[in-house]
Structure 1
């Protein structure tokens, strides 16, 4: 996340990483680029990755200037990065996809970071918040 990158790059990156993971564990089957193009990940990742953060939790602001012109990140902007996967029992799969292994059904995860775009890159404002499984487990 760098100044000058598009707002959509955050989402596009998350979609790629999550789709690769879904293939790796056998939930999706096929070539990554085609799965993304055909939006085969959407039964599991049905929302966007980010929103602006400011005076309100979902701060107002432009994400796109028309269909082909995403907002360009600028120093001082703060946004969330919160990809999530949900494997719900009634997920409808395409005919060309495997049945979901029952060990994954009912699992959902969404971890948020809040990120400040700086002149030279970014700062993860929530870097100190526990996110790893062992860290979160120790808190309970």
Structure 2
């Protein structure tokens, strides 16, 4: 059993509730934190804000955008992390094509329409096994 708590960071367009099924599948003896990501200017600001509310040392898992926040947390204070996991996320920045598609989705949403990717996005997995199989 890990000696440090587990922190799970959700992605964009989700809340900490995305981890409800995962939390219920974990041992009750494991301290699990699922903070809501604050709406701040950048991942470094989000990471700094989260550090103020989390235990002194913990295992960290970031899902999707939460992975980018987790990497920022590692860069800011690696001594606070006992371990790091990225789920449906990665350590690299978006490619030019991905960045262009993201800008287009932002413009579409800003104009009051729903980006096409958000209409076809499947529900997130609800158990640890489902997470592993999905990504």
Task: Give the alignment's TM-score, normalised by structure 2.
Answer: 0.29
When normalised by structure 1's length, the TM-score is 0.28
More helix per residue: 2
